[in-house]
């Protein structure tokens, strides 16, 4: 069972996410059912995508992506964030999927 679109939109509220992330988020925006967050690091940035398109039948997908939205290779993820390469996803790192709320 999927959430009503209005409820999902409330879960993806940019201003609420901005309050929760504070200064850690250099940029935060919503694109459809995804929140895109640019996180600062000493040598650059990470782009984090929280994809709620299948919530609440499945948890939010969390991935580090490049500027075009493609999932990064595991070695480019935040250390300890990925759970290794998923065997059935053609080399795509397994994420630390989370449930919202």
Query: Over 60: is that where the pLDDT of 89 sits?
Result: no
pLDDT score for 66? 92
At 19-54, the pLDDT tens digits run 777 777 788 888 888 888 898 888 888 898 988 888
Q: What is the pTM of this model?
A: 0.65
Query: Over 70: is that where the pLDDT of 87 sits?
Result: no
Phi and psi angles of residue 99, each rounded to the nearest 5 degrees, phi first: -95, 130
Beta-carbon contacts of 76 under 8 Å, excluding residues fewer than 6 positions away, are: 64
Distance between first and last Cα of the chain: 16
Q: Are 34 and 51 in contact (CB under 8 A)?
A: yes
Q: Report residue 93's pLDDT band, with 50, 70 and 90 as the boundaries.
A: low
The ranges assigned to domains in the chain are 5-74
At 46-78, the pLDDT tens digits run 898 988 888 777 777 888 899 898 888 877 887
For the residues 7-21, what does the mean pLDDT come to?
69
Q: Report residue 7's pLDDT band, with 50, 70 and 90 as the boundaries.
A: low
3-state secondary structure of 5: helix
């Amino acid at each position: 069972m999927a959430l009503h679109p209005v409820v999902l939109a409330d879960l993806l509220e940019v201003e609420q996410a901005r309050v929760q992330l504070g200064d850690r988020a250099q940029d935060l925006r919503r694109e459809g059912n995804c929140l895109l967050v640019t996180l600062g690091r000493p040598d650059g940035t990470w782009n984090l995508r929280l994809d709620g398109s299948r919530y609440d039948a499945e948890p939010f997908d969390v991935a580090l992506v490049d500027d075009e939205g493609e999932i990064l290779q595991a070695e480019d993820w935040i250390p300890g964030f990925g759970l290794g390469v998923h065997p059935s996803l053609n080399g795509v790192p397994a994420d630390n999927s989370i449930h919202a709320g």
